[in-house]
Structure 1
Amino acid sequence: MTTWMRCYWDEEDVWFYFEVDAEGWVTRQIELQGPELTPITAASLDEWHLAQDAGRLDEYDKRFGTTSELPVSDWEGHVPEELSFDQFERVWDRARRQITARPS
């Protein structure tokens, strides 16, 4: 079962949005920074693997970032707020459009 959540890290003024699979691994991750909610990450684990297989991992990481390397169950001190699929998708679509529109 897939779940969607978000949490806020006030030290860096960043909202983290996560899509998490049944085993607790992050499959998509968004990071929005500052009062303007500027997207700094909008990464998909599936796309990351495809980029790795194609030898384009550095390019992918620079543009979209990466997903968490730990399952959610190993995180300390985070208090997630659950989201619906639609809530997550709206943020995902906006972040991806903004990141993709930037010059590479």
Structure 2
Amino acid sequence: MLSYVRWYWPEQDRWNYDELDTDRWSLRHVELHGDGRAIAAASLAEVLAVHDSGGAGAVVRYERRYGVVPDAPFPPPDADVEPVLETLTAIEFEQLWRQARRQLDQAASR
């Protein structure tokens, strides 16, 4: 069963949203500046597919456009302080995902 969480890093003024699997690995990750501008909207499945079809260079291009999916279970084992999590519904996450992807796609086409 998937779960959806949001958490805030005040030092960077960033909201983070994750779709987590049962082992707490992020399947999709969204980051927004405090003002709502998208920083990332990355998918683990997409990264793996891009790597399989285009290699490391394709992954670099993907990550420049869509950001990075966390590469450890959430929260990271080396985190000094575990962030306070708020839960989201799948529908809320999907709306955020689509908005962030749209912003990043528009920025890349400029």
How far apart are residue 34 of structure 1 and its match? 3.0
How far apart are residue 70 of structure 1 and its match? 1.2
Q: Report whether the alignment pairs 1:57 with 2:56.
A: no
TM-score (norm 1): 0.92
In the alignment, which residue of structure 2 is the partner of 1:70? 72
2:90 to 85, 88, 91: 85
**Structure 1 runs not aligned, ≥5 long:** none
State the superposition RMSD in angstroms: 1.3
Q: Aligned partner of 1:16: which letter?
A: N
In the alignment, which residue of structure 1 is the partner of 2:16? 16
Q: How many residues of Structure 1 are paired with residues of Structure 2 in the alignment?
A: 103
How far apart are residue 43 of structure 1 and its match? 0.2
How far apart are residue 77 of structure 1 and its match? 1.9
SS at match of 1:27: strand
**Structure 2 runs not aligned, ≥5 long:** none
SS at match of 1:31: strand
SS at match of 1:72: coil
TM-score (norm 2): 0.87
**Is the deviation greater in 17-26 or in 66-75?**
66-75
| Matches of 2:13 and 2:51, distance apart in 1 | 30
Report percent identity of matched pairs: 37
Q: Report whether the alignment pairs 1:102 with 2:101.
A: no
Q: Aligned partner of 2:28: which letter?
A: R
| Matches of 2:16 and 2:108, distance apart in 1 | 24
